[in-house]
Amino acid sequence: MQRAARTPKTLFQKRQMGSHAEPQWEGIDKVVRGVFPKDYQLARAIIGGYGVIIAFFVLKPSGAKAVEEAPAAPVAKPATTGIPSVEDTAFGDFIENEANLNRWIDSAE
């Protein structure tokens, strides 16, 4: 006995590689899309615009700042002992006197 089986027909959409209709732009979109008709072109233009703005603010000088020279800090001299610092040029004259030399040795003890 032979049985004839029917296979069900599967319905599927046949694609013909068509595309949708171009949208009708109005207002500012019409002007912008006249220059950048494709989406990738518009995206690049927007990202490039932001890049230019960021680069402008990063690279521009923040303004002319008046540079004021700070007054020179006064050199601290030990006023309590009257003995100049070892690095001071007057120290050589100070220790030439025997009394000053002894006073300097006594202050180190």
Apex CA 20: angle with CA 30 and CA 24, to 5°?
A: 20
Structure token digits, residue 15: 């694609």
List, in order, residues 6 or more apart from 25 with CB less than 8 Å away: 33
pLDDT tens track of the chain, all 109 residues?
Answer: 666 677 767 777 777 777 777 788 899 999 999 999 999 999 999 999 999 999 999 998 876 666 677 776 665 554 456 788 888 888 888 888 888 888 888 887 7
Residues 104 and 83 sit within 8 Å (Cβ to Cβ): yes
pTM given for the model: 0.40
Structure token digits, residue 51: 């890049």
